[in-house]
Structure 1
Amino acid sequence: MLNPMTRRFSQHWAMTEEGAIPAGIFGKFMAHNRYLHFIDNEPPRVRDKLWKLRPVIDTLQSRFMSGWTLPSKFSFDEGVLPATTRRNTTRMFMPDKPLRYGTKLFMVCDSETAYCHRKAMHPSVSHTNKQAVDSKTGAAAVVRNMKVILRDRPKGFRLVVIDRFYSSVALALQLLAMSIYVLGTIQINRIGYDKNIVERRKTRPHSILRGSFAFSRATSVPRMVACHWWDRKPVHYLATGPSKVKCPKVISDYQRWMGAVDVHDQLRLQSYSIQTTFRFQKYYKSLFMGFLDMALDRGDWYLLLHKQLLQLKSEVFVDVIIPTPSSATRARKRRRLDGHSHIQFDDWVTVSGVQKRRQRSCKVCALLRGETKKSFQTTYYCDDCSRLDAKSFLCPKARRVYGSVSKTCYQIWHEDFDSGASIPEALGKRILLRRSGKVGSRNPT
């Protein structure tokens, strides 16, 4: 399902290997796509434009919130679920996005990993009208979503990075009262922004060096800093939190932590997108595929974390008592690792008048090779894993990454495959040890 298929929608659950990985028997029910529903149509429909997808949205919302530890730095921006059909009543026009028509989402992502902690629809699409919601400003969306994320969470200051469409002096003061620092660009016509720091010139003159800056600190709120920095044009910033201000540091922090939502959209729309490969007549089915893309994108991060977790050893942790292995375990491990020796095979061949060592295919490379992974040859073999003249050749160089760790084929064979006794069934192959050919000259080809 994670393969980016662009030809046709049905290949995402194809049963044959035509550029896709077979994924079960779901393809037998392709004709039942017309009966794809997510909610009962009988209950009264509240004023919710996405009432057909509400159970899916609520489930994903709770899973996204509980599936990841909250970071110290957030990135707040708007995302988009592409939708060009006019039947979609949530469709908006966003000229700054690669796909300009779609459903607008307010997204709060991890600035380091681009993990989406919360996605919220525009208030006009919301399913509840029990309390008044300020839908006129982007600042209200920032406060509303940050309150939900940090509800019942440990106290402590966090940083949220926003762009100039949301930032304002009033928002910075309100977030500071909520123990949230803010960093972002700002429009110069915002109320309360220092007019002395505003640069009126549209482009940088030759007399001013690129990278020049000026800043001012608020007297009533010493944590609040305003600055402008010269690129080709002047860029104005507003930040709270730093006790020592170096404007290049502020600018580098903004460039470093701001793009998480855009990275999330790139991963979802360019690498894993099911939504963009097919057009549905029902608009809510297309939106469902967009939410499914978000779930698949998050699953890729969980897979990466799981692989990293498997590499942790007890020696990594502090004050952990490492259990002493039994004598049988020590003996078995010593026989498996310490007793094996990696030897270079003394077999020579004459090629074009030059004498060289004969190379043979590596057993681990033969198991792990594929369309994109090459198989290598080597002159080294494991003496203990060999049987008389049938040698077990294994590469001595770290050419592959197995279990998120760079290892040699010799290490993979003994540590992960248990000297050939625990080869994963997913590889679908078996090892054959063949006797070496006769020593002599290589036949011309």
Structure 2
Amino acid sequence: MPTNLFGLYMPKNRFFHIMGYMQFSNNKSPEAHRDRAWKIRPVVDVQQRTFARGYKPPPVISFDEATLPSRSRFNPMRVFNKDKPHKWGTKVFVAACAKTAYCMRFEIYCGAKNHLRTPVPQDNNSGESAVLRNMNALLPPTSTPPWRLVVTDRFYTSVKLALELLHRRMYLTGTIQTDCSWFAKEIITTKKYKTVNRKKVMIPPQGTIKLAQNKKFPQVTAAMWMDRNPVHMLTSGGSRKEGTVSKYIVFMIYNW
């Protein structure tokens, strides 16, 4: 049909109303009891193959979560995340290139598995399991794969994950929650203030760094860096040598 003629046969609102109820899937399919994303699973599988075929996994891989905006009440995987720009939508785990942000693999979060009929391990959707599951799919285990670095945030980072990835010849670097198991409690820091010459001074001062090396696994290092708030990190491939980091300061020029 030529462009600009569709409106002669059907109004736009009528078209969207029909599309909201039109479907081409069999609701009695056995997959409906095992996979909440079964209706779009064929499309997702094609995208996974296409993404992997178009990009070679780089040395540094970023793993995080994202939200696909959707407020539809027909979406069974809709979740609310107050920390995202789009609060409502479908949560996905994303493995992307840390330099170009190219998405190499994603996994749809299908919600609490106890609502489905097929039993699965309790930690199937935990942060550690999500990282390992997607790294195994993106980079299948081989005899001597090249070393890579996986960067995560505090929801995924843990000592257990760092050791698991080392067996896969992958380093791990990321922020970490201070209540994580086996994390070095000696470097956990809270921000405090004390009065010096009638001025409030932050303790410890900004720029303070604390490091702790794991005795059993020397490659694993816990770190604390004091910015405006303490930042706790864990790494299994970072250097402990002192260095200099440049901080860029942007000046705004106003024309009067």
Q: TM-score when scaled to structure 2? A: 0.77
Q: Which residue of 1 aligns with 2:149?
A: 159
TM-superposed CA distance for 1:42, in Å, is: 6.9
Note the 1:215-294 alignment, pairs <5 A. Answer: 215-246=211-242
Distance 1:212 1:53, change over 3 A: same
Note the 1:88-237 alignment, pairs <5 A. Answer: 88-124=75-111, 132=121, 134-151=123-140, 155-201=145-191, 205-206=201-202, 208-237=204-233
TM-superposed CA distance for 1:149, in Å, is: 0.5
Could you tell me how far apart the structure 1 residues matched to 2:25 and 2:146 are? 43
Note the 1:47-66 alignment, pairs <5 A. Answer: 47=33, 48-66=35-53
Could you tell me how far apart the structure 1 residues matched to 2:66 and 2:48 are? 15
TM-superposed CA distance for 1:129, in Å, is: 5.0
CA-based RMSD of the aligned residues comes to: 3.2
The AA in structure 1 aligned to 2:159 is V
The AA in structure 1 aligned to 2:126 is T
TM-superposed CA distance for 1:38, in Å, is: 7.3
- Determine if contact 1:229/1:247 at 8 Å carries over to the other structure: no
Q: Helix, strand or coil for the counterpart of 1:52?
A: coil
The AA in structure 2 aligned to 1:211 is G
Distance 1:86 1:206, change over 3 A: same
More helix by share: 1
TM-superposed CA distance for 1:176, in Å, is: 1.1
Please, which of 17, 29, 35 is the counterpart of residue 44 of structure 1?
29
The AA in structure 2 aligned to 1:191 is S
Note the 1:314-393 alignment, pairs <5 A. Answer: none
The C-alpha deviation readout for 1:275-334, integer Å capped at 9, x for no partner, is: xxxxxxxxxxxxxxxxxxxxxxxxxxxxxxxxxxxxxxxxxxxxxxxxxxxxxxxxxxxx
Distance 1:109 1:220, change over 3 A: same
TM-superposed CA distance for 1:45, in Å, is: 4.2
- Determine if contact 1:123/1:135 at 8 Å carries over to the other structure: no
Distance 1:246 1:171, change over 3 A: farther
- Determine if contact 1:39/1:55 at 8 Å carries over to the other structure: no
Aligned length: 228
The AA in structure 2 aligned to 1:196 is E
Note the 1:390-409 alignment, pairs <5 A. Answer: none
The C-alpha deviation readout for 1:327-377, integer Å capped at 9, x for no partner, is: xxxxxxxxxxxxxxxxxxxxxxxxxxxxxxxxxxxxxxxxxxxxxxxxxxx
TM-superposed CA distance for 1:26, in Å, is: 5.8
- Determine if contact 1:90/1:125 at 8 Å carries over to the other structure: no
Q: Helix, strand or coil for the counterpart of 2:40?
A: helix
More strand by share: 2
State which structure, 1 or 2, has the greater radius of gyration over its C-alpha atoms: 1
Distance 1:143 1:128, change over 3 A: farther
The C-alpha deviation readout for 1:130-177, integer Å capped at 9, x for no partner, is: 964733521111111111100166711111111111111111111111
- Determine if contact 1:217/1:225 at 8 Å carries over to the other structure: yes
Q: Which residue of 1 aligns with 2:251?
A: none
Task: Please list every run of 5 or more consecutive structure 1 residues that lacks an aligned counterpart in the other structure.
Answer: 1-23, 253-445
